[in-house]
Amino acid sequence: MLVKILVVDDSAADRLIIREMLSDYDVLTACNGSEAMSILEEHTGIDLILLNLKMPDMDGFRILEALKDDKRFDRLRTIILTDCNEPENEIKGLELGAVDYIRKPINMYSLRARIDVHVELLRVEHELKQRLDESERSKSVLLSHLPGLAYRCSFDRDWTMQFVSKGCLDLTGYPPESLLYNRDLSFNDIIAPEYRESLWNEWVRVLEERKTFNYEYEIVTADGERKWVIEIGQGIFNDDGAVEALEGIVLDISDRKAIEKALIYNNEHDRLTGLYNRDYLMSVLEKDAVLKRDSMKALVCVNLSMIQLLAANYGFRYARDLIKTTAEILGKLCTEDRLLFKILENTFVSICETTKIKASLLILAVS
């Protein structure tokens, strides 16, 4: 880091001595306040000013006031040069924004030590700013590639958003500013109604146990589309242990849910007919056995083995289409109390409540 210092003093001798003492820095000089302000306008990157308070034309106090009122010089550090018998000027200078003072007559070794300290502080500030800028850039890049949104919100029923990342638009169809402090709608309005209460209860449980929140639910976008999302977050607590805010991310997992749904369907259904398969029949029977339900059920078997003869005479495709047509007809008769399964190539099974078995048999027979 190249440190640039401006020395403002009406004494040519003092300017020369200070410049020689600080020869390893980039030093500019001004003989009065007006020249100092011109140099500040013309030269960018001045880090430190050594400013004599007593000068003709425009004294150091007026320069301090001008610097204080101009945001361009917020990071500029000013060290004032004062007389040893005027402590009130030191106080006034510090109140106007000076960071330190050096009394005249100047001890050059003391001056050098003071300057080195402030230069080191400038270097530390510069390094911290670089790290912060790098962190902000990294965070910005991360959020821009996030398949969802990052947020900070209040712990209330509306999930009042204090911060929402730009990914909100792609995920919900609403721009981030629409959700900030519930300007146009709240995040709760976007959550599918059937999940709102369970989502709230899960957050309450997680916050009580000081755990990480992890929950899957559906949202309704601006276009009315339903999307599956996973929310991962945590509570931010103040010194008293009260919830100050919630922070986290909401990610789109619709594609994953669609794959899961397809896998479940394929595992539970026969590919040709779309009816439940043998594996799903076994899971239903095992579930009933575990629950030990009082109601009795009967299995009705429909054997279509004679179709093999038709296959021999008319071909495999004809027999397959006949099985598919039969499954479509029988499938229309299914209800919550009467499920139909295809357990073998030519065999269907229906589960019926025993109190309704006669009606089920009659229906199947007529079909």
Residue 115: which CATH number?
3.40.50.2300
Four-point Cα dihedral 94, 100, 103, 109, nearest 10? 180
In the chain, what percentage of residues exceed pLDDT 90? 40
Answer whether residue 21 is part of any domain.
yes
Answer whether residue 289 is part of any domain.
yes
- Distance in angstroms (rounded) separating the CA atoms of residues 39 and 4: 12
Q: How confident is the model at residue 362 (pLDDT cuts 50, 70, 90)?
A: very low
Do 89 and 196 have their domain in common?
Answer: no
What's the mean pLDDT in 36-65? 90
Do 168 and 136 have their domain in common?
Answer: no
Name the more confident of 288 and 97: 97
Name the more confident of 361 and 63: 63
The domain boundary, picked from 257, 286, 304, lies at: 257
Do 12 and 119 have their domain in common?
Answer: yes
Report phi then psi at 227, rounded to 5: -130, 140
- 367 neighbors 333 (Cβ within 8 angstroms): yes
* Domain interval for residue 17: 4-140
DSSP letter (8 states) at residue 32: S
Report phi then psi at 320, rounded to 5: -65, -40
- Distance in angstroms (rounded) separating the CA atoms of residues 341 and 273: 10
Which amino acid is it at 46? Answer: I
Do 244 and 279 have their domain in common?
Answer: no
Do 11 and 132 have their domain in common?
Answer: yes
pLDDT over 70 (residue 17): yes
330: domain CATH number is 3.30.70.270
Q: How confident is the model at residue 132 (pLDDT cuts 50, 70, 90)?
A: low
Cis peptide before 105 (omega within 30 of 0): yes
In the sheet with 338-344, reading across from the earlier edge strand, the strands are 276-277, 338-344, 347-353, 297-303
Q: Which two tokens stand for residue 365?
A: 């027979």
**Parallel, antiparallel or unpaired: strands 347-353 and 297-303:** antiparallel
Q: What share of the chain is helix, strand, coil (3-state, %, to 5)?
A: 45, 25, 25
Answer whether residue 213 is part of any domain.
yes
Do 301 and 351 have their domain in common?
Answer: yes
What's the mean pLDDT in 31-53? 91
- 222 neighbors 169 (Cβ within 8 angstroms): no
The domain boundary, picked from 213, 228, 257, lies at: 257
Do 124 and 163 have their domain in common?
Answer: no
Q: pLDDT, tens digit, for every residue of 207-246?
A: 999 999 999 999 999 999 999 999 999 999 998 899 999 9
Which amino acid is it at 312? Answer: A
- Distance in angstroms (rounded) separating the CA atoms of residues 288 and 300: 17
Answer whether residue 77 is part of any domain.
yes
Residue located via tokens 């289409």: 321
Which amino acid is it at 317? Answer: R
In the chain, what percentage of residues exceed pLDDT 70? 89
| 30 CB-contact burial (10 Å; exposed 0-12 / middle 13-18 / buried 19+) | buried
pTM of the model: 0.49
- 122 neighbors 139 (Cβ within 8 angstroms): no
Quick one: which H or E segment has residue 282? Answer: helix 278-291
Do 98 and 30 have their domain in common?
Answer: yes
Instruction: Indicate the number of domains in the chain.
Output: 3
Do 197 and 220 have their domain in common?
Answer: yes
The domain boundary, picked from 222, 257, 292, lies at: 257
